[in-house]
Amino acid sequence: MNDALLYILTTNGLLFLLSIIFWKFPPKKINSIYGYKTPKAMQNQQIWDFANSTFNRSLLIYAGLSFIACLAFTTLLNANLTWQPMAFVFLSVIVSIVKTEKALNENFTDEGKKKKLKK
């Protein structure tokens, strides 16, 4: 196995595997060990469930895209990868967090109540 492929499997592949685990086995109750833990996400069970499902779905999508992109770069283009796989990991996590926080702010008030839909 070449070094670039091993690097991709241990960065992007590991993130993709973790995203599958989080998606298949989301945390059931608010806890400080496992799940999407921000002060807003931990306000109540309804927000916790929403935040974790949103984050897990987003992370699964972006981790999968980053894994496929890095594999394509190294196999199809024979690109010499150095920092790029780790940048894809970082961007996948950051984009998932930003999308989750945006969804939380759109759906819940600062006090933890569900916002009413505008007609």
Which structural domain range is residue 99 located in?
A: 9-25+37-107
- Per the structure, the count of domains in the chain is 1
Burial of 77 (0-12, 13-18, 19+ CB in 10 A): exposed
For residue 115, tell me if it sits in a domain: no
Residues 6+ apart with CB under 8 A from 65: 92
For residue 89, tell me if it sits in a domain: yes
Token representation of residue 105: 């702010």
Whole-structure pTM value: 0.88
For residue 114, tell me if it sits in a domain: no
For residue 90, tell me if it sits in a domain: yes
Q: Specify the DSSP element, H or E, that contains 41.
A: none
How far apart CA 101 and CA 38 sit, in angstroms, is 9
For residue 118, tell me if it sits in a domain: no
pLDDT in tens, 41-78: 999 999 999 999 999 999 999 999 999 999 988 888 77
For residue 32, tell me if it sits in a domain: no
**Structure-token match 């929403």, residue found:** 50
